Amino acid sequence: MDTQNNIISITKTWDYKFNSGFKPTKTKSSQRDIVVDSETIKAIHKFVSHHKIPETNPIFVYNSHSIVSAEINKILSSKLNGLGIARIPFHGLRHTHASILLYSGVNLLSVSKRLGHSNVTTTQQTYLHIIKEMEEQDDNKIIILLQAIK
């Protein structure tokens, strides 16, 4: 984690199936640097510092037990339910993040790299419904621009 430049480096993955520790990422493209805002980097740094989490450990540990995605989903569902928000699985936050970026006009290649996809086709296929909606919006923009030329 680079707190000066607000970068989180993804260099390995946690083996949650066999709990054997960190292992190499699934693909070379999964190794990446992700730029985040300063508040996020501060919050992560504060959490890691407060809990004295060594770099060799995953961040989400409770009573020396690595919390796996099923447990995160249970906690997240409980919190969302308490807030009156529909359930979304932990991995769904990744899709929500990507969808928001695409809807906000972040280009497909940038989103693909951020997600660690090995090629942009994976991102296109996964988010095709959003891309089609954006294409319709672009068609409307194009018509307005063409009409302005007259």
Q: What residue ranges do the domains of the chain occupy?
A: 1-67, 89-150
Question: Closest by alpha carbon to 29, among 95, 93, 119, 91?
Answer: 119
Q: What is the DSSP letter of 18?
A: T
Residue type, 100: I
pLDDT, position 126: 94
pLDDT, position 35: 95
C-alpha span between 44 and 36 (Å, rounded) = 11
Indicate whether 87 pLDDT > 90.
Answer: yes
Residue type, 140: N
For the entire predicted model, the pTM comes to 0.78
Instruction: Report the number of secondary-structure helices (H) and strands (E) in the chain.
Output: 6, 6
pLDDT, position 66: 73
The answer to whether 68 touches 13, Cβ cutoff 8 Å, is no
pLDDT in tens, 96-120: 999 999 999 999 999 999 999 999 9
C-alpha span between 119 and 112 (Å, rounded) = 7
